């Protein structure tokens, strides 16, 4: 990633302000010809008032993808004309073009954007397909209000399709009322599969690339998961915030993993084709859909309004991302896509993930994401924030005899901030939590578990919802080292003196080459080691390392270590109240 502190700290000196521009149209061309260049061609036309220079900037980031990217990097062949005459231009900073209009009233700008980033916040193309985000392509007038309407026209091959959440007009163009909306509605252009359905009176679309990949029975099966996700989310907030919803999915060949980026009435996901038919793809879908409420509308005050020229760090991503992830799990179980056992397995997995990671305060993890920390705490605000939401839900339901829930907190905060045109902070969030819990204070909870790094109080809170953690133990071959794999190999970072590797003489700094016959090429090699030696306690184990410019073979012994793992289960001794709370979480109900 490109993020650097120096870039984050830009923006000093007098703010530059563009001459006012109006009547803005963006023309985006994606044809076989531009596809052959892996590029999109962008035209921008506008009227100018005043005699000053026009300053056009491209965003530094795409909201939701919390990193500085600088989309101006991918621009080439910039030009500006008025009345058939080329206009002089230069740059005032690395993402701002200054156009000397010479008094011209109508100006056209053209440039190419290289679309080669397989990243849901960016632009990517193939010979028959492109996706892009408005942040990558649509310049805005520097220093001016972003509340301007604009038109978007897409020029493409006649047999190719366009899919977007943006509103289509009768003349085939697209348009929105503000720049915030324009850059929050990504596009698919080209050859892909597109269908739609009416869900609760709402038009819901599904666009997937490559054509034929999510097809036939697999597509029907996905629709069967996708369709029921809407109702449980609408029930939390008491309203449907969009007039249509569009899911855009890319399944690139040879792509591993999956991620998606939320928008106000759509999301764009990139997934391994192996994800087709898997529950986790539906879960990511539920997560992104919930974001249409939580973060696209209900949003931390630090990001209201969005700014596109600087980063906007906040301590609240544990709510915006973590609690969204809790609601992805709740949506899945309330929609019947998973059962309660699936919910417990997912939640137990989050508990294990947090337990195995360095302790980090949720506020600190939220703030730090912009620099993508490398210490293992980078994205912990997802699982740990999700668990914080789970615990708050239980505490609120217990304090209110299951009459209130975290749903009430979400609804109240949404109504009290987003609906009033502002963002939320501690007063609104904790005020709503306190009211839902009958006036109880959460200062201690915040100090210990949100601003602090104390382990979560599972043992006292989970039984209130008829749940508990049970500990399983198993024996596993372990070396007693921490390693890190980079371009130089798999390096030993720390050695436990009483572990198998420490006893054999392995030292921190050694590059691990082989364990017995297993060549070490990263984490999968250790899985192979554990599978191979899991029943060979005391067997001899040659350990080959490189230390400086020497290669050594150390004589070691396999050691099986007792490991414990926690599982979340239903408490057979749950009280009637705890059972009601547990059911309330699974179904979204409150009361008795
Ligand atoms: Zn998210």
The DSSP H or E segment spanning 55 is strand 54-57
Rounded Cα gap, residues 225 and 247, in angstroms: 13
Rounded Cα gap, residues 503 and 407, in angstroms: 53
For residue 336, the SS3 value is: coil
- Please give the distance, rounded to the nearest whole angstrom, from the Cα atom of residue 326 to the centre of ligand 1: 11
- Please give the distance, rounded to the nearest whole angstrom, from the Cα atom of residue 482 to the centre of ligand 1: 30
Rounded Cα gap, residues 500 and 537, in angstroms: 11
Angle at 261 between CA 259 and CA 266, to 5 degrees: 125
- Please give the distance, rounded to the nearest whole angstrom, from the Cα atom of residue 497 to the centre of ligand 1: 41
Q: What is the pLDDT at residue 565?
A: 84
User: How distant, in Å, are the alpha carbons of 3, 123, 205 from that of 188?
Assistant: 27, 10, 12
Q: What is the pLDDT at residue 3?
A: 37
C-alpha 365: how far from its chain's center?
Answer: 14
Q: What is the pLDDT at residue 51?
A: 83
**Tokens encoding 94:** 């690395």
C-alpha 302: how far from its chain's center?
Answer: 18
For residue 121, the SS3 value is: coil
**Tokens encoding 160:** 């190719």
| Closest alpha carbon to 469 in 386, 396, 391 | 391
- Please give the distance, rounded to the nearest whole angstrom, from the Cα atom of residue 170 to the centre of ligand 1: 34
pTM of the model: 0.90
- Please give the distance, rounded to the nearest whole angstrom, from the Cα atom of residue 167 to the centre of ligand 1: 24
- Please give the distance, rounded to the nearest whole angstrom, from the Cα atom of residue 378 to the centre of ligand 1: 14
- Please give the distance, rounded to the nearest whole angstrom, from the Cα atom of residue 281 to the centre of ligand 1: 13
For residue 99, the SS3 value is: strand
Rounded Cα gap, residues 119 and 146, in angstroms: 25
For residue 449, the SS3 value is: helix
Q: What is the pLDDT at residue 563?
A: 87
Rounded Cα gap, residues 155 and 30, in angstroms: 6
- Please give the distance, rounded to the nearest whole angstrom, from the Cα atom of residue 111 to the centre of ligand 1: 32
Angle at 33 between CA 32 and CA 36, to 5 degrees: 80
- Please give the distance, rounded to the nearest whole angstrom, from the Cα atom of residue 293 to the centre of ligand 1: 11
- Please give the distance, rounded to the nearest whole angstrom, from the Cα atom of residue 333 to the centre of ligand 1: 18
- Please give the distance, rounded to the nearest whole angstrom, from the Cα atom of residue 462 to the centre of ligand 1: 25
Q: What is the pLDDT at residue 7?
A: 42
For residue 28, the SS3 value is: strand
**Tokens encoding 87:** 């206009």
- Please give the distance, rounded to the nearest whole angstrom, from the Cα atom of residue 285 to the centre of ligand 1: 10
Rounded Cα gap, residues 123 and 59, in angstroms: 13
- Please give the distance, rounded to the nearest whole angstrom, from the Cα atom of residue 287 to the centre of ligand 1: 6
- Please give the distance, rounded to the nearest whole angstrom, from the Cα atom of residue 261 to the centre of ligand 1: 7
- Please give the distance, rounded to the nearest whole angstrom, from the Cα atom of residue 324 to the centre of ligand 1: 7
* Residue with tokens 């009958």, as numbered in its chain: 438
- Please give the distance, rounded to the nearest whole angstrom, from the Cα atom of residue 290 to the centre of ligand 1: 9
**Tokens encoding 440:** 């109880």
- Please give the distance, rounded to the nearest whole angstrom, from the Cα atom of residue 321 to the centre of ligand 1: 5
- Please give the distance, rounded to the nearest whole angstrom, from the Cα atom of residue 108 to the centre of ligand 1: 37
| Closest alpha carbon to 324 in 395, 400, 242, 260 | 260
Angle at 498 between CA 496 and CA 501, to 5 degrees: 65
Q: Strands across the sheet with 88-93, in order?
A: 88-93, 96-100, 54-57, 140-141
For residue 62, is it left (φ>0), alpha (ψ between -120 and 50) or beta? beta
Question: How many of the other CB atoms lie within 10 Å of CB of 376?
Answer: 11
- Please give the distance, rounded to the nearest whole angstrom, from the Cα atom of residue 560 to the centre of ligand 1: 39
- Please give the distance, rounded to the nearest whole angstrom, from the Cα atom of residue 317 to the centre of ligand 1: 9
Contact of 423 with 365, CB cutoff 8 Å: no
- Please give the distance, rounded to the nearest whole angstrom, from the Cα atom of residue 374 to the centre of ligand 1: 20
Write the burial class of residue 397 (CB in 10 Å: 0-12 exposed, 13-18 middle, 19+ buried): buried
The DSSP H or E segment spanning 474 is strand 467-477
- Percentages helix, strand, coil for the chain (3-state, rounded to 5) are 30, 30, 35
- Please give the distance, rounded to the nearest whole angstrom, from the Cα atom of residue 196 to the centre of ligand 1: 24
C-alpha 517: how far from its chain's center?
Answer: 40
Rounded Cα gap, residues 158 and 9, in angstroms: 45
- Please give the distance, rounded to the nearest whole angstrom, from the Cα atom of residue 496 to the centre of ligand 1: 37
Q: What is the pLDDT at residue 523?
A: 85
- Please give the distance, rounded to the nearest whole angstrom, from the Cα atom of residue 67 to the centre of ligand 1: 14
Residues near 133 by Cβ (< 8 Å), separated by ≥ 6? 62, 121, 122, 123, 183, 186, 268
- Please give the distance, rounded to the nearest whole angstrom, from the Cα atom of residue 521 to the centre of ligand 1: 32
Q: What is the pLDDT at residue 14?
A: 60
Rounded Cα gap, residues 505 and 451, in angstroms: 41
Contact of 252 with 129, CB cutoff 8 Å: no
Rounded Cα gap, residues 297 and 304, in angstroms: 10
- Please give the distance, rounded to the nearest whole angstrom, from the Cα atom of residue 259 to the centre of ligand 1: 9
**Tokens encoding 441:** 């204070």
Residues of the chain with pLDDT under 70: 1-15
- Please give the distance, rounded to the nearest whole angstrom, from the Cα atom of residue 286 to the centre of ligand 1: 10
Q: What is the pLDDT at residue 221?
A: 98
HSE, CB side, 13 Å, CA atoms: give it for residue 479: 27
Whether a cis peptide bond, with omega within 30° of 0, leads into 5 is no
- Please give the distance, rounded to the nearest whole angstrom, from the Cα atom of residue 512 to the centre of ligand 1: 37
Rounded Cα gap, residues 394 and 585, in angstroms: 8
For residue 271, the SS3 value is: strand
Catalogue the E-assigned strands of 347-466.
none
Write the burial class of residue 314 (CB in 10 Å: 0-12 exposed, 13-18 middle, 19+ buried): buried
- Concatenate the DSSP letters of all residues of 512-576 into one string: EEEETTEE--SHHHHHHHHHHHTT-TT-EEEEEEEETTEEEEEEEE--EEEEEEEEEEE-TT--H
Beta-bridge partners for 187:
132, 164
């Amino acid at each position: 990633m490109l993020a650097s502190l120096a870039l984050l700290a830009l923006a000093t000196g007098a703010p530059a302000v563009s001459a006012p521009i109006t009547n803005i149209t963006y023309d985006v061309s994606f044809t076989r010809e531009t596809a052959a260049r892996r590029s999109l061609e962008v035209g921008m036309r506008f009227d100018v008032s005043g005699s000053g220079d026009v300053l056009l900037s491209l965003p530094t980031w795409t909201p939701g993808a919390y990193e500085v990217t600088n989309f101006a990097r991918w621009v080439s062949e910039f030009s500006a004309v008025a009345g058939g005459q080329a206009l002089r231009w230069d740059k005032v900073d690395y993402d701002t073009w200054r156009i000397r209009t010479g008094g011209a009233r109508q100006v056209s700008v053209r440039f190419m954007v290289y679309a080669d980033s397989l990243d849901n916040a960016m632009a990517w193309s193939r010979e028959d397909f492109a996706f892009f985000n408005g942040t990558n392509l649509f310049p805005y007038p520097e220093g001016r209000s972003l509340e301007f309407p604009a038109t978007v026209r897409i020029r493409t091959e006649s047999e190719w399709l366009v899919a977007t959440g943006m509103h289509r007009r009768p003349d085939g163009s697209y348009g929105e009322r503000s720049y915030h909306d324009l850059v929050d509605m990504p596009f698919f252009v080209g050859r892909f599969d597109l269908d739609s359905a009416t869900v609760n009176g709402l038009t819901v679309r599904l666009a997937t690339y490559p054509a034929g990949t999510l097809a036939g029975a697999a597509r029907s099966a996905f629709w069967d998961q996708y369709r029921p996700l809407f109702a449980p989310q609408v029930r939390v907030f008491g309203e449907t915030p969009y007039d249509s919803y569009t899911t855009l999915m890319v399944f690139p060949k040879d792509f591993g993993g999956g991620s998606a980026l939320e928008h106000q009435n759509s999301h764009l996901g990139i997934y391994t084709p192996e994800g087709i038919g898997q529950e986790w793809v539906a879960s990511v879908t539920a997560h992104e859909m919930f974001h249409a409420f939580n973060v696209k509308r209900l949003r931390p005050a630090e990001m209201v309004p969005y700014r596109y020229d600087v980063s906007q760090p906040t301590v609240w991503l544990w709510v915006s991302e973590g609690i969204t992830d809790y609601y992805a799990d709740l949506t899945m179980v309330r929609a019947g896509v998973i059962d309660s056992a699936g919910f417990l397995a997912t939640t137990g997995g989050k508990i294990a993930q947090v337990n195995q990671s360095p302790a980090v305060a949720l506020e600190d993890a939220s703030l730090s994401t912009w620099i993508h920390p490398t210490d293992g705490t980078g994205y912990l605000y997802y699982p740990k924030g999700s668990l914080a939401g789970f615990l708050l839900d239980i505490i609120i339901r217990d304090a209110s005899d299951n009459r209130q829930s975290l749903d009430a907190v979400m609804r109240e905060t949404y109504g009290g901030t987003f609906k009033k045109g502002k963002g939320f902070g501690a007063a609104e969030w904790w005020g709503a939590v306190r009211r839902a819990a009958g006036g109880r204070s959460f200062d201690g909870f915040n100090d210990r578990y949100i601003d602090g790094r104390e382990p979560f109080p599972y043992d006292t809170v989970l039984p209130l919802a008829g749940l508990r953690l049970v500990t399983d133990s198993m024996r596993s071959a372990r070396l007693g080292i921490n390693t890190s794999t980079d371009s130089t190999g798999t390096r030993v970072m720390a050695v436990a003196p009483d572990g198998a590797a420490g006893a054999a003489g392995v030292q921190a700094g050694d590059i691990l080459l082989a364990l017995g016959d297993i060549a070490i090429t990263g984490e999968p090699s250790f899985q192979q080691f554990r599978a191979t030696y899991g029943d060979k306690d005391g067997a001899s184990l040659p350990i080959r390392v490189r230390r400086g410019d020497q290669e050594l073979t150390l004589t070691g012994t396999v050691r099986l270590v007792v490991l414990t793992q926690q599982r979340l289960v239903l408490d057979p001794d749950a009280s009637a109240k705890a059972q009601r709370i547990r059911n309330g979480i699974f179904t979204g109900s409150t009361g008795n």
